[in-house]
């Protein structure tokens, strides 16, 4: 099950479960109050019967002087439950029949236990119904995702033939014409299409994260040379660094390509891209447009420009999480953006 499906399932489950649990909880609270009133009424009824025959097994009897007590009324205090009754022929005393507070609490505890057992049983039933409800509501989403994935897979498959033909013909032209700027641009455009193809594959599948040793400086030179050839007006500066990483190359290349290509694509004319390594982190800074909503930039399909489809940085975040590379960014509109990759976990010592 994909993360978006798990998220949808959990949200549906908790929404249904919590709403139903709160409703049932309110009903049980009302029922508890009524049961408590019924218990008090039952005890008072026993006291009235006891006042006639004085056969009170669970109750106690006492005689108290008349004051301002109301007869035939239940008095309820933490210490006891008591009622007062007249004594035939007596003008000075009342008959007090009472139940000790500790005995009353035992009856209340038994009542609470019974209601709690029923309430927990109902919660279990609600939880099972919530799971069934969540799975049922998830079904349309899963079907839509499946159709989308099949559509993307078909597109990726159909890319292969024209791309292979294009690369073959470009190679033949390069042999016939030799070094040519226009042919080089066509080759770079093909590489960009292949990079987009890899992004789409990354969106559909997780990389097999088999790690290998990589020279970071050499890799950065390779990727910036490839990606920067179409941006001759942008200055790319890479500070010297001696860093060896132990990481899956394909996944890490996808991260770098997306960050560097964005830094180039959304830069200003005559701008710069500065890449350096400091204190365990790789920094990629540009002088571009900046990001209006940095908190949303890693969301799937979120984009602030007309170009692109909004999955590049989502894939970056997804791969960073898989490689355990914390990623942060700072951005200022009109001034530029800096992405920082904490590589401490993948540096080879």
Q: What is the pLDDT of residues 227-269, one digit of tens each?
A: 887 788 899 999 999 999 999 888 898 899 889 988 998 888 8
Least confident of 3-7, 65-69, 183-187, 264-268: 3-7
Q: In the chain, where does DSSP find H-type helix?
A: 3-53, 101-177, 181-204, 216-228, 249-265, 312-323
d(CA 124, CA 113): 17
Specify the residue for token string 């953006």.
337
Position 203 pLDDT exceeds 70: no
pLDDT band with cut points at 50, 70 and 90 for residue 307: low
pLDDT band with cut points at 50, 70 and 90 for residue 308: low
Position 208 pLDDT exceeds 70: no
For residues 203 and 100, which has the higher predicted lDDT (pLDDT)?
Answer: 100
- Report the share of the chain in percent with pLDDT over 70: 91
pLDDT band with cut points at 50, 70 and 90 for residue 2: low
Contacts of 185 (CB under 8 A, 6+ apart): 229, 230
Reported as a single tens digit per residue, the pLDDT across 173-192 is: 878 877 777 787 787 777 76
pLDDT value of position 160: 72
For residues 146 and 327, which has the higher predicted lDDT (pLDDT)?
Answer: 327
pLDDT value of position 17: 92
pLDDT value of position 206: 52
- Give the CATH number of domain 210-346; options: 3.30.565.10, 3.30.70.260, 3.30.450.20, 2.60.120.260: 3.30.565.10
Is residue 261 within 8 A of residue 195, CB to CB? The reply is yes
CATH 3.30.565.10 residue window(s) in the chain: 210-346
Winning range, highest mean pLDDT, from 113-122, 297-306, 314-323: 113-122
Reported as a single tens digit per residue, the pLDDT across 118-150 is: 999 999 999 999 999 888 888 887 787 777 777
Please choose, from the candidates 273, 297, 275, the residue with its C-alpha nearest in 3D space to the C-alpha of residue 286.
Answer: 273
pLDDT band with cut points at 50, 70 and 90 for residue 53: confident
Position 201 pLDDT exceeds 70: no
d(CA 147, CA 153): 10
């Amino acid at each position: 099950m994909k993360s978006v499906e798990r998220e949808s399932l959990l949200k549906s489950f908790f929404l249904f479960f919590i709403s139903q649990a709160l409703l049932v909880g309110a009903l049980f609270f009302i029922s508890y109050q009524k049961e408590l009133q019924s218990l008090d009424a039952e005890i008072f009824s026993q006291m009235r019967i006891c006042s006639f025959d004085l056969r009170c097994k669970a109750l106690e009897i006492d005689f108290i002087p008349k004051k301002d007590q109301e007869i035939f009324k239940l008095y309820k205090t933490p210490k006891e439950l008591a009622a007062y009754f007249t004594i035939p022929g007596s003008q000075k005393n009342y008959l007090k029949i009472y139940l000790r507070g500790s005995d009353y609490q035992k009856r209340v505890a038994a009542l609470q236990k019974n209601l709690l057992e029923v309430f927990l049983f109902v919660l279990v039933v609600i939880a099972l119904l919530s799971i069934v409800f969540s799975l049922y509501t998830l079904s349309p989403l899963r079907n839509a995702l499946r159709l989308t994935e099949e559509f993307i897979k078909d597109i990726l498959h159909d890319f292969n033939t024209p791309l292979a033909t294009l690369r073959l013909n470009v190679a033949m032209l390069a042999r016939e014409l030799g070094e040519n700027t226009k042919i080089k641009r066509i080759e770079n455009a093909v590489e960009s299409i292949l990079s987009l193809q890899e992004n789409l594959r990354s969106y559909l599948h997780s990389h097999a994260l088999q790690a290998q040793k990589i020279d970071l400086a050499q890799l950065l030179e390779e990727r910036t040379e490839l990606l920067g050839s179409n941006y001759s007006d942008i200055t790319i500066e890479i500070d010297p660094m001696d860093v060896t990483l132990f990481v899956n190359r394909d996944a890490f290349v996808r991260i770098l390509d997306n960050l560097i290509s964005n830094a180039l694509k959304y830069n200003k004319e005559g701008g710069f891209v500065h890449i350096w390594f400091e204190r365990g982190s790789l920094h990629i800074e540009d002088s571009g447009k900046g990001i209006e909503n940095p908190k949303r930039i890693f969301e799937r399909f979120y984009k602030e420009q007309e170009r692109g489809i909004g999955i590049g940085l989502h894939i970056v975040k997804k791969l960073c999480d898989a490689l355990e590379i914390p990623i942060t960014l700072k951005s200022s509109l009109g001034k530029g953006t800096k992405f920082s990759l904490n590589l401490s976990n993948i540096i080879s010592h």
